[in-house]
Amino acid sequence: MKTYVLYNSKSNNGAGKAEAEQLKTLWSGRTLEFVDVLSFESYEAFLGGLAPEDEVCLCGGDGTLNYFINAVDCDALQNNIYYFPTGSGNDFWTDLGKKPGDAPELINRYLTDLPTVTVKGKTSRFINGIGYGIDGYCCEEGDRQREKSDKPINYTSIAIKGLLFHYKPTNAEVEVDGKTFTFKKAWLAPTMKGRFYGGGMMATPHQNRLDPARNVTCMVMNGAGKIRTLIAFPTIFKGEHVQKKIVHVMKGKHVKVRFDRPVALQIDGETVTNVLEYEVNA
């Protein structure tokens, strides 16, 4: 049996390998073979060359997991897949109740029966959630800043400035399992497989990613002005926002969200711009 540690040498400004090598200490009892994902053609090709008893550890962030679940038929996986977070937000890791420095976690059971999202005619799987509204704006603005500087992105600062000055709420139409709801002045309208997104925001505190019924949760924050929304916004980090009158939570298997003007959207942290609607099937 071999244990392959997959990392991206270009991630985190070239620190991908160094971060992955923390496993030499955490997994000191194993013989590890480090493999740069840039050295092989595809995940499918790499996994196809493994013996069934070989193990794989993915190193990266939520974007790495999203890429993997869309590149591989996870329902047909034969090998044990572990995960070790070396990204910035690591919302999947947080949702598992893990902390920085914890040993890798076996994640095969989290990779199957994943929901899909369709945006601009393209359908893909997601593992954490879809952010739509000011959360998508924050990712869009973070991407702009990243193009100009190597400094860490402060998404909290972006969100506050967006709420006060730059982002305008929209009217939203949300359909959940055939029932349609309308919301004026919608600031957020994510649909979640897990509880966390955006680097620690507990958008849907009662969502269970292993829910036997395979439901997802749509949360809408709407109706309030800038100051009231700004006051409520920090409570998302503890999941306390769901107790407020400006928040609506809907659970189901089919969710469609439509805004009355195009805004940015994020899928597991990856930005899609100028989106009018998205559709999720659990």
pLDDT tens for residues 3-33?
999 998 877 666 788 889 999 999 988 889 9
What pLDDT, on the 0 to 100 scale, is given for residue 81? 97
DSSP of the chain: --EEEEE-TTHHHHTHHHHHTTHHHHTTTS-EEEEEGGGSS-HHHHHHTS-TT-EEEEEE-HHHHHHHHHHS-GGG--SEEEEEE-SSS-HHHHHTT--TTPPPEE-GGGSSS--EEEETTEEEE-SSEEEEBHHHHHHHHHHHHHHH--SPP-HHHHHHHIIIII---EEEEEEETTEEEEEEEEEE--EESSSEETTTEES-TT--TT-TT--EEEEEEES--HHHHHHHGGGGGGTGGGGSTTEEEEEESEEEEEEEEEEEEEETTEEEEEEEEEEEE-
* Total of domains in the chain: 2
Q: Which CATH number does the domain housing residue 154 bear?
A: 2.60.200.40
Q: Single out the residue in 58, 86, 110 at which a domain terminates.
A: 110
Q: Single out the residue in 110, 143, 169 at which a domain terminates.
A: 110
Do 123 and 208 lie in a common domain?
A: yes
pTM above 0.85, yes or no: yes
Q: Single out the residue in 86, 110, 134 at which a domain terminates.
A: 110
Do 90 and 132 lie in a common domain?
A: no
Structure tokens at 68: 């993997």
What pLDDT, on the 0 to 100 scale, is given for residue 13? 66
Ranges 77-91, 149-163, 259-273: which has the least confidence? 149-163
Average pLDDT, the chain: 92
Do 97 and 159 lie in a common domain?
A: no
Domain that holds residue 120: 116-281
Do 122 and 82 lie in a common domain?
A: no
Do 270 and 189 lie in a common domain?
A: yes
Do 200 and 120 lie in a common domain?
A: yes
Percent of the chain with pLDDT over 70: 99
Do 72 and 172 lie in a common domain?
A: no
Do 201 and 238 lie in a common domain?
A: yes
Do 86 and 144 lie in a common domain?
A: no
Do 38 and 173 lie in a common domain?
A: no
Do 83 and 188 lie in a common domain?
A: no
Q: Which CATH number does the domain housing residue 98 bear?
A: 3.40.50
